[in-house]
Amino acid sequence: MIHVTKTYLPDKEKYKKYVDEIYENGWVTNNGPLVRKLEKKLAEYLDVKNVVLVANGTVALEIAYRTLGLKDFAITTPFSFVATTSSLVTNNLLPIFVDIDPDTLTIDPEKIEQQITRNTSAIVPVHVFGNACDVEQIQEIANRYNLKVVYDAAHAFGVKYNGESLLNYGDISTLSFHATKLFHTIEGGALIINNDDLVQKARYLINFGFENQESIPEIGTNAKMNEFEAAMGLCMLDEIDNIFTKRKKVYEIYENELGNVVKLQKKNKNASLNYSYFPVIFESEDQMLKVKEALNKENIFPRRYFYPSLDTLNYIEPKQCKPIARDISRRILCLPIYPSLEEDKMINIIRVIKDNL
């Protein structure tokens, strides 16, 4: 069976050595030495100032909103994984959806301004499938209306914008290190925080609000990453160049073979690619379903990322309707992409797609 992704498992012997280390010192969680080591290494690798590791990408978003003190309304995209929206709702923020650009699939910056009101406190865009948002225009709007910007950068690990880390844009960017992601720590996530003063607050928030054993200045939660997860991250980081090289190969074969027969996402030309997803946009939902069924018959399981459009969630009140996101979400499919995907398997996937258009 071929799924949309396959968890990359790095060198087992190296992981075992870290496990031995953890057993020897007995420190399994609570800001342990491996978590701190991974934070340092990731800051260097990603070329960012501050990395705060957390338990997962969803809680990273929640901590970001709370670190910045967001309230009332947050402008966001309906075309993302559900956690982008649900994390707002669980933090008493009302998502105000702005439709996407039908080509880039990221939030349409031209449509943001008309949705801003006195109650808007932030913009929460997503670099969907690793494609960089129009970060400059978004920052300009945020500056003009004094809004915070939190990027859900769960897909954007390693992406550069004009040669520098894309994660440096916005007040905070969040990452997910879930096992299905490009770089993972089994479960995990991170906050990339530009303002040094906010780092301390985020660290209190992920540890019950504790400043020290006797002082609890913030209403915190438990969002800590543990040492076994950090060990996985350290092993993954050692193999990340190999991961990118292999993904690039898969990506380019798809692009060459499918670029002329189906619609592909239009990439931000100022940004690099990380080859994390391969979305394909079909002419209609019927055509997409036909292809999906044909692939399923061959034990190939692409995913309907992202469906349904988040403006259709039943718990969002008042109701909103974003026609472009709804249309795209009905006819898009993400093809299997991971480092060990063999070329003959890909050729078969491409054949099935072409035969069913």
Ligand X SMILES: *Cc1c(COP(=O)(O)O)cnc(C)c1O
Q: Out of 126, 150, 193, 332, name the contact with ligand X by CB under 6 A.
A: 126
Binding mask 96-115 for ligand X (x = CB under 6 A): --------------------
Q: How many CB atoms lie within 10 A of CB 146?
A: 8
- Is 246 a binding residue for ligand X by CB under 6 A? The answer is no
Q: Which of 37, 40, 49, 181 is catalytic?
A: 181
Tokens of 220: 């915190």
- Is 170 a binding residue for ligand X by CB under 6 A? The answer is no
Nearer to ligand X, 58 or 67 (CB): 58
Q: Which stretch binds ligand X (CB under 6 A): 16-24, 50-58, 316-324, 333-341?
A: 50-58
Residue nearest to ligand X (CB): 57
Residues 6+ apart with CB under 8 A from 329: 78, 79, 304, 306, 307, 308, 309
Q: Out of 176, 207, 265, 276, name the contact with ligand X by CB under 6 A.
A: 176
Among 314, 318, 304, which residue's Cα sits nearest to residue 79? Answer: 304
Q: Residue 306 Cβ, how far from ligand X at the closest point, in Å?
A: 8
Q: Which residue has the tokens 């800051």?
A: 43
| 354 counts as catalytic | no
Count of chain residues binding ligand X (CB under 6 A) = 14
- Is 80 a binding residue for ligand X by CB under 6 A? The answer is yes
Binding mask 251-270 for ligand X (x = CB under 6 A): --------------------
Q: Out of 62, 101, 134, 152, name the contact with ligand X by CB under 6 A.
A: 152
Q: Out of 32, 57, 95, 170, name the contact with ligand X by CB under 6 A.
A: 57
Residues 6+ apart with CB under 8 A from 40: 51
Q: Which stretch binds ligand X (CB under 6 A): 28-36, 54-62, 96-104, 243-251?
A: 54-62
**Which residues make up the interface to ligand X (CB under 6 A)?**
56-58, 80-81, 83-84, 126, 152, 154-155, 176, 178, 189
Q: Which residues are catalytic?
A: 181
